[in-house]
Amino acid sequence: MAKAFEILAPTTKISLSLSTNRSLFYSPNVVSKRICCSNTSRAPRFISKGCKLVGCGSALPNLQVSNDDLTKVMDTSDEWISSRTGIRNRRILSGNETLTDLAVEAANKALQMAKVEPDDVDLLLFCSSTPEHLFGGAPMIQKALGCKENPPAFDIRAACSGFLLGLISASCYIRGGGFKNVLVIGADSISRYVDWMDKRTCVLFGDAAGAILVQACDSEEDGVFSFDLHTDGNGNRHLDVGIKQNETNLANGSVMGFPNTRPSFSDFQMNGSEVFRFAVKAVPQTIEASLAKAGLKLSDMDWLLIHQANQRIIDRVAVELEFPKDKVISNLENYGNTSAASIPLALDEAVRSGRVKKGQTILTAGFGAGLTWASAIVRWG
């Protein structure tokens, strides 16, 4: 039998609070129309809601590779690596470990902290540029979590900016789509795509997964105050993993008119100096934009957490902003650049150690391939 439900007709404006200082105006109203429909979606539309971060989790591979370990296979040293990057150790997927396993472990920890069951997840966003399936890893994660209600699950590919884009997307789905629980997972295994003989790039990366549960709340409790995001395709040449054609055996390929090739990915390519110049300029600018949109000041921020790419970048951004060094979150020394996992991994460690406390405000920013960069001001808990 067809079920009746109500939708709101867009006739008058109501205010949706983004922070204590700003409002976003929507157009759904008080006048409703009653209609019949044979199928209803899980999430009602036009819901004026806030959103908050209520759970986090992370997961790491078992294999730890130190700078000293790398000196055994290449011409480098602990001093050379650490002085240029701030990195001393990283974790690498090995044996039977998979990125999907890490993502599921991180997601389960976030759900447990939030006290939310997998069946109550309305949307799963898998932020990864290195999924183990060509068509995306989110469906496999949804399956492994045991989400029986079949919530939508899909990938976001933006490399090191991916998690922040996922977090921003989650807030938009909650505010504009009526979703209640959105699971955002950042996970990458860049180690699979680096040339382990190229000391300029391979020493930088580690593998990991991190997850955040973003939950709908009353607008007064809103914990995502503002965001700012950008992409400049002209910068893609500075940070890329391109497709290359490999010879393979395709019977009668030339006769049928298509080449005897099959594509695969090249090794990771990066112009480190250009990425450094880009990051130390773009990150402070996007942070200042998010602060202006929220009507907040740097002095209102409890923590600064930016993508863990290079300690020199983190330090330079803090200096540019004149942000107190003791309020900058960094775990780069232990894990290296974990791409989309870096922000949720660092946040999870800071929360579970008691360093970041409920109600504190975090200024966060990501930057990476694309070139893509973004920032957001969020409150924990």
337 counts as catalytic: yes
In angstroms, rounded to a whole number, what is the distance separating the alpha carbons of residues 286 and 306? 11
Cβ–Cβ < 8 Å for 211, 57: yes
C-alpha R_g of the chain: 22
**Per-position DSSP letters for 192-239, written without gaps between them:** GGS-TT-TTTGGGB--EEEEEEEEEE-GGG--EEEEEEEE-GGGGGGE
CB-based contacts of 47, cutoff 8 Å, min separation 6: 175, 177, 178, 216
Which residue of the set 67, 181, 310, 337 is catalytic?
337
| Closest-CA residue to 194 (of 128, 239, 136) | 239
Q: Is 217 a catalytic residue?
A: no
CA dist., res. 378 & res. 226, Å (int) = 8
First to last CA, the chain: 41
* Residue among 147, 202, 307, 310 flagged as catalytic: 307
* Exposure string for 92-123, b = 16+ CB within 10 A, e = fewer: bbeeebebbbbbbbbbbbbbebbebebebbbb
Q: Does residue 307 have an active-site annotation?
A: yes
Which of the following is catalytic: 160, 181, 238, 310?
160
Active-site residues, by number, are 160, 307, 337
